[in-house]
A = this chain, B = another copy of it.
Amino acid sequence: MSLAEAREALARANRIIALEGVLDAFGHVSMRHPSDPGRYLLSRSRGPELVQPEDVHEFTLDSQIVKPIKERLYSERVIHGEIYKARPEVMAVCHHHAPSMLPFCVTGMKMKPLNHLGATMGAQVPVWDSRDEFGNTNLLVAKPEEGASLARALGPYWTVLMRRHGATVAGRSLEELTFRTIYTARNAAAQIQAELLGAGLEPLNAEEIELGGNSNLMPGPVMRAWEYWSVRLDKAEGNRPPRKPKGPAAKQSAPKRKTVAKRKKSKRGR
Docked complex Cα distance between A207 and B164 (Å): 13
**Interface flag for A267 (CB, 8 Å):** yes
Number of interface residues of A (CB under 8 A): 90
Docked complex Cα distance between A225 and B50 (Å): 11
A46 and B224 contact, Cβ closer than 8 Å, known pairs A139-B211, A164-B115? yes
> Would you call A139 and B194 a contact (CB within 8 A)?
no
Q: How far is the CB of A108 from chain B (nearest CB, A)?
A: 4
Q: Enumerate chain B residues within 8 angstroms of A75, measured Cβ to Cβ.
A: 268-270
Q: Enumerate chain B residues within 8 angstroms of A268, measured Cβ to Cβ.
A: 72-73, 75, 142
- A176-201 CB contacts (< 8 Å) to partner B: 186, 189-190, 192-201
Q: Which of A32-40, A83-91, A239-247 contacts B (4 or more CB under 8 A)?
A: A239-247
**Interface flag for A117 (CB, 8 Å):** yes
A202 is contacted by which of B106, B214, B235, B267 (Cβ under 8 Å)? Answer: B106
> Would you call A164 and B229 a contact (CB within 8 A)?
no
**Interface flag for A3 (CB, 8 Å):** no
Among A47, A164, A201, A214, the one with the most B-chain Cβ atoms within 10 Å of its Cβ is A164
Among A106, A211, A264, the one with the most B-chain Cβ atoms within 10 Å of its Cβ is A106
CB-nearest residue of chain B relative to A69?
B267
A109 is contacted by which of B76, B136, B197, B224 (Cβ under 8 Å)? Answer: B197
Q: Enumerate chain B residues within 8 angstroms of A270, measured Cβ to Cβ.
A: 26, 45, 74-76, 140
Q: Enumerate chain B residues within 8 angstroms of A104, measured Cβ to Cβ.
A: 197
**Interface flag for A166 (CB, 8 Å):** yes
Docked complex Cα distance between A197 and B73 (Å): 36
A220 and B72 contact, Cβ closer than 8 Å, known pairs A192-B193, A199-B108, A202-B106? yes
CB-nearest residue of chain B relative to A74?
B269
CB-nearest residue of chain B relative to A65?
B267
**Interface flag for A2 (CB, 8 Å):** no
A207 and B136 contact, Cβ closer than 8 Å, known pairs A45-B220, A186-B99? yes
Chain A residues near B (Cβ < 8 Å): 24-26, 44-47, 49-50, 52, 54, 70-76, 97, 99-100, 102-109, 114-117, 119, 136-140, 142, 163-166, 186, 189-190, 192-205, 207-208, 211-212, 214-215, 220-221, 224-225, 227-229, 231-232, 235, 237-238, 240-241, 243-245, 264, 266-270
